[in-house]
Amino acid sequence: MAKLLMDQLTKTYDNKVTAVENFNLTVEDEEFIVFVGPSGCGKSTTLRMIAGLEDISAGTFSIDGKRMNDVEPKDRDIAMVFQNYALYPHMTVYENMAFSLKLKKMPKEEIKERVRNAAEILGLMEYLNRKPKALSGGQRQRVALGRAIVRDAKLFLMDEPLSNLDSKLRVQMRTEISKLHQRLKTTTIYVTHDQTEAMTMATRIVIMKDGVIQQVGTPKEVYDQPDNIFVAGFIGSPAMNFFKGRIEGDSFVMGQTKLLIPKSAMPEGRDGQEIVIGLRPEHITHKPHAQVDVLEVDLDVVELMGSEYMVYSKIEGHSFVGRVDANFELAAGTVFPMLFEMDKARFFDPETEVRIK
């Protein structure tokens, strides 16, 4: 159980490339933190600095108030799960899990008990004598988790642990990892590029881009109150729709189209200025009796997802996705009234891309 502090963590490589810049974060005990961002955003580098596999160029990293910058990985009391599992191929599943305990010179009986416990939790009992070669991808992933669990470490680090699995197994392992965290309550930092994993597993999400934190918050916060266009576009699937236009009086105007903004949602002091609005697909929908902010749009593509349609269309040159309940027939190529729920719109400055609150 651990409380982490990252204070102005920076990683600069020899060739003067900065991978991570001024990374500030406090992680409370028992939290499940997810670092998410596109590839090359510095999330894995940050994780590796926490693990001690990468030197920290500047800033401090501490666990429970103890400075860790120059502590060897083996002395940090952390466990890590790697993307390619990193199982020792010449050892059996049992030996893989027991390796760290053997190094600690733990008595044989205790090692046996710990490995058996972990194997039971993960459903690996029948595979203990197999080599990793003879296991499926999901089972290897479990062994990698098992190797972390037996350690009873202060901190779990996971570097894209599910990205080598097929989609069905990924969903299954996702819930298993969440369950595991609820059971063990070990502070966890999890790196992924998949925003769905971030949303479903995290207690707090850290969204990164180009080595810089964009926003830190609970899944709900980053979804509902994104700090900038990047976060708004990255979190949520399908992504948020953006429209560029201008505020005129009580309306948002783009080209010939005018959308009325309710007073409560209107950003202050922006009359006559350029602005970007963001609307989530679920806020561009169809309501039978709606009067205001309803636009007739040509449906380019209609995808039936079962209980709802995803409709793809365009207004004033801006492509967008909307969501409509599937309780009637809808076909591409037709004209259809769509409601733009402007009270749910988020407003962004077109220059700085920061959200206007």
Rounded CA-CA distance 127/334 in Å is 57
The least CB distance from residue 52 to other proteins, in Å, is 8
190-227 per-residue burial string, b: 16 or more CB within 10 A, e: under 16 = bbbbbbebbbebbebbbbbbebebbbbbebeebbeebb
The least CB distance from residue 149 to other proteins, in Å, is 13
Q: In sequence order, which ranges of 185-279 are alpha helices (DSSP H)?
A: 195-201, 219-224, 229-234
Of the pair 143, 277, the CB lying nearest other proteins is at 143
106-140 per-residue burial string, b: 16 or more CB within 10 A, e: under 16 = eeeeebeebbbebbebbebeebbeebbeebeebbb
Of the pair 73, 138, the CB lying nearest other proteins is at 73
- Closest C-alpha to 78, from 52, 96, 97: 52
The least CB distance from residue 155 to other proteins, in Å, is 11
Of the pair 161, 211, the CB lying nearest other proteins is at 161
Of the pair 89, 317, the CB lying nearest other proteins is at 89
Residue 64, φ and ψ in degrees, nearest 5: 50, 40
Of the pair 104, 183, the CB lying nearest other proteins is at 104
User: Interface with other proteins by CB under 8 A: which residues?
Assistant: 51-53, 72-74, 78-80, 82-84, 86, 88-90, 99-100, 103-104, 147, 151
The least CB distance from residue 47 to other proteins, in Å, is 11
Q: Are 69 and 61 in contact (CB under 8 A)?
A: yes
The least CB distance from residue 90 to other proteins, in Å, is 5
Of the pair 99, 138, the CB lying nearest other proteins is at 99
DSSP letters spanning 197-214: HHHHH-SEEEEEETTEEE
The least CB distance from residue 99 to other proteins, in Å, is 6
In order of 32, 184, 196, 219, 298, the CA distances from 215 in angstroms are 16, 27, 16, 11, 36
Number of residues in the chain: 357
The least CB distance from residue 248 to other proteins, in Å, is 56
Of the pair 57, 83, the CB lying nearest other proteins is at 83
